[in-house]
Amino acid sequence: MSSTPNVGEHVIVKRADFEQLLDALNARNYQIVGPTVQEKAIVYDEITSVNDLPIGWTDEQDKGRYRLKRRADEALFGYVISPQSWKKFLHPASLRLWQAEQTDDGFHITETAPTAPQYAFIGVRACELNAILIQDRVFMHDTYVDPNYQSRRTEAFIMAVNCGQAGNTCFCSSMNAGPKVSAGFDLALTEIIEPDRHEFVVEIGTELGAEVMGEVAYQTASQAVQEQAEQIVTEVASQMGRLLDTTDIKALMYRNFEHPEWENIGNRCLTCANCTMVCPTCFCTTVEDVTDLTGQQAERHRYWDSCFNMEFSYIHGGSVRSSNKARYRQWMTHKLATWVDQFGTLGCVGCGRCITWCPVGIDITEEVATIRKTDSALLTRLREK
């Protein structure tokens, strides 16, 4: 055992000692969640030991394509990202908000939402961490606070991991959301793997992170090792599979609300809602009130919903956004324009999930490029010349 490091300090944890990190979190009663291999994919799920991690696995991602592949080494975090983000823990896909029973005198609430576990997230990528910070604005820093999100979020321990490789659908650099983890973590790891060397450079982000690290065998990271870690993530930044030019993006979206490209996308889009389910920032939900067969017990449930569903915009008389093009426009314009007016940031972190998981391969980066190339303002200027 060593002494407790300082916040901001960089230390080295050997691969052989990695288990101690999990032990330290376990001793603090965290429910530890990290990447696992399930159903031929990287799935964030409960883990009990380092052996549950996707040792030696990586992923290949492209438009409408996702495959796991063996790596030549035994890296713990050698994949890009899981199909599902950490959203499923902080903002569950399904949650019973309350239960009530009918009484002679009306009804009374018997139960509210179940208490959330105290999570420790292992392997949060920079884009995902930025997505969490974006959802914080939605659920904790606006007019109302969602107590369900807040309790999960404030209790969560975040062990982030800097990316060692970029995926083919990644564009976090464009969105200023990665690949380097820069804020909001307790510990941030960079995995260094060489023929005779496998270790993690760990940046201490918080007092809590420092305390946990104090219970693990570590060495101080030399300047040279820190630079090597830095070099890894710098290289990743230059390997992005996609680019999205965000110059003046809000105005671009607003002035192209009636652009013909929406029709073109609408003809391809299946409105399957995959993109919204895998998106780490999408937050929309619906509410369902149900009773048991006697009608005496009632419950209210909250489920993830999607702006691609027809019922989403239903008001008396019909759905406001009945066409595919209107629903796609709502989604993309929300991510890249209206989100800025609502919450002060873009709603996209460039994780690329919406591209990978679109069954017809619609690519948000290509669509922005198309609209930019045929920008209504640009065309008006050309016509005037």
Partner 1 sequence: MITPNDPMIPQQYRIRQRQQDNADTFTLELEPTNGTVLQFAPGQFNMLYVFGVGEIPISISGNPATPSKLVHTTRSVGTVTNAMSTLKTGDVIGVRGPYGKSWPVMQSTGRDVVIVAGGIGLAPLRPAIYQLFAKREQFGKLVLLYGTRTQEDILYRQELEQWRARFDVDVYVTVDRATSDWRGNVGVVTNLIPRTPFYPPDTVAMVCGPEVMMRFTVQALQKRGVPTEQIYVSMERNMKCATGFCGHCQFGSTFICKDGPVFSYDQVESFIGMWEV
Task: Report the interface residues with partner 1, using CB under 8 A.
Answer: 97-98, 100, 102, 105-109, 111-113, 115, 138-139, 142-144, 146-147, 254, 257-258, 283-287, 289-291, 295, 298, 300, 302, 305, 307, 312-316, 320-323, 326, 330, 334, 337-338, 341-342
Q: Considering beta carbons, is residue 231 or 322 the nearer one to partner 1?
A: 322
Q: Considering beta carbons, is residue 91 or 242 the nearer one to partner 1?
A: 91
Smallest gap from Cβ 60 to partner 1, in A, equals 32
Smallest gap from Cβ 240 to partner 1, in A, equals 29
Smallest gap from Cβ 275 to partner 1, in A, equals 14
Smallest gap from Cβ 149 to partner 1, in A, equals 8
Smallest gap from Cβ 285 to partner 1, in A, equals 5
Smallest gap from Cβ 316 to partner 1, in A, equals 5
Smallest gap from Cβ 302 to partner 1, in A, equals 8
Smallest gap from Cβ 334 to partner 1, in A, equals 7
Whether 77 contacts 128, CB under 8 Å = no
Whether 346 contacts 175, CB under 8 Å = yes
Q: Considering beta carbons, is residue 144 or 194 the nearer one to partner 1?
A: 144
| φ, ψ at 138 (rounded to 5°) | -70, -45
Positive or negative torsion for Cα 239, 122, 186, 246: positive
- First vs last Cα of the chain: how many Å apart? 73
Q: Considering beta carbons, is residue 113 or 369 the nearer one to partner 1?
A: 113
Q: For residue 329, give the nearest of 285, 271, 242, 248 by alpha carbon.
A: 271
Q: Considering beta carbons, is residue 71 or 300 the nearer one to partner 1?
A: 300
Smallest gap from Cβ 98 to partner 1, in A, equals 6
CB under 8 Å to 234, separation ≥6 — which residues?
Answer: 180
Q: Considering beta carbons, is residue 63 or 259 the nearer one to partner 1?
A: 259
Q: Considering beta carbons, is residue 26 or 376 the nearer one to partner 1?
A: 376
User: How far, rounded to the nearest angstrom, does the alpha carbon of residue 78 sit from its chain's CA centroid?
Assistant: 18
Q: Considering beta carbons, is residue 4 or 323 the nearer one to partner 1?
A: 323
Tokens encoding 346: 């873009």
Q: Considering beta carbons, is residue 91 or 125 the nearer one to partner 1?
A: 91
Secondary structure of the chain as H, E, C letters: CCCCCCCCCEEEEEHHHHHHHHHHHHHCCCEEEEEEEECCEEEEEECCCHHHCCCCEEEEEECCEEEEEECCCCCCCCCCCCCCCCHHHHCCCEEEEEEEEEECCEEEEEEECCCCCCEEEEEECHHHHHHHHHHHHHHCCCCCCCHHHHHHHHHCEEEEECCCCCCCCCCCCCCCCCCCCCCCCCEEEEEEEECCEEEEEEEECCHHHHHHHCCCCCEECCHHHHHHHHHHHHHHHCCCCCCCCCCCHHHHHHHCCCCCHHHHHHHHCCCCCHHHHHCCCCCCEEEEEEECCCCCEEEEEEEECCCCCHHHHEECCEECCCCHHHHHHHHHHHHHHHHHHHHCCCCCCCCCHHHHCCCCCCCHHHHHHHHHHCCHHHHHHHHHC
Q: Considering beta carbons, is residue 6 or 322 the nearer one to partner 1?
A: 322
Smallest gap from Cβ 87 to partner 1, in A, equals 13
